[in-house]
Amino acid sequence: MIAHLRHPALILAALGAVSGILGTTLLGVGYGDAPRPGVYMVMTGVWFGLVIGFAVWRWGNRSWAAVATAMLATWIGWEAAVNLALQLDGPWLDAASIGTASKSYLTGFAAGAVGAFATWAGAAAFTPALRRGPAAAMIVVTGALFGLLLPWTNNYDNGAVLLLPWQAAVAAMIGFHMASASEPSRTDPGAFAIEG
């Protein structure tokens, strides 16, 4: 039971939730005038970048280059997602005459996918476990689906409605794929041998 509590997915989900809370309360500075492109809520991306950097260090590749790449890609993903959301929710989809609710869901879905893809790419750059099988697809789909919370964030005027579950879910999915690649196979009789 205790071993399950140390599973990377659970640890990263908890850290992602903490990051989501910090990202909502300690936004950091921003440079730009929405909806024009800019750098918004700088620390929000940094907090989640620290979570993904830790994940890479702990279960992926213990090099500073790997950690820095994961953190930077996560922050860039955050900024790309925010800027995409501002453009989709504003000028890009206004021309398409899409209803307000549909526009908000489409915006959240697309921005969530972009943020998750950049986060995965940064973590996978030095972590072979994340480049196996359907890891990228599952992480991006998770980000896209949790991005559908964007209209609720706007409705309640609270970023935690989106950030907390999105970051917890994406981090958990990354942890799931890191753990599944590092767990020994139960069908391999030598898998549980202790190395000396």
Every domain of the chain and the residues it spans: 7-181
This prediction's pTM:
0.85
pLDDT for residue 186 is more than 50? no
Reported as a single tens digit per residue, the pLDDT across 20-41 is 999 988 877 788 777 778 888 8
Q: For residue 188, what pLDDT is reported?
A: 36
pLDDT for residue 196 is more than 60? no
Query: CA of 20: how far to CAs of 52, 120, 134, 168, in Å?
Result: 13, 17, 25, 8
- Mean local confidence (pLDDT), 177-193: 50
- Residue 186, exposed/middle/buried by CB under 10 A (0-12, 13-18, 19+)? exposed
Give the count of alpha carbons within 13 A of 168, CB side only: 14
Within 10 angstroms of residue 49's Cβ, the number of other Cβ atoms is 25
How many angstroms separate the CA atoms of 193 and 70, rounded?
32
In this predicted structure, which of 110-114, 116-120, 143-147, 190-194 has the lowest mean pLDDT? Answer: 190-194
How many angstroms separate the CA atoms of 2 and 54, rounded?
21
Q: For residue 19, what pLDDT is reported?
A: 96
Chain center to CA of 36:
23
Reported as a single tens digit per residue, the pLDDT across 70-84 is 999 999 999 999 999
Q: For residue 193, what pLDDT is reported?
A: 32
In this predicted structure, which of 4-8, 122-126, 174-178 has the lowest mean pLDDT? Answer: 4-8
Which has the closest alpha carbon to 45: 21, 25, 68, 72?
72
Q: Give residue 133's pLDDT band: very low, low, confident or very high (50, 70, 90).
A: confident
pLDDT for residue 195 is more than 50? no
pLDDT for residue 52 is more than 70? yes
Q: For residue 182, what pLDDT is reported?
A: 54
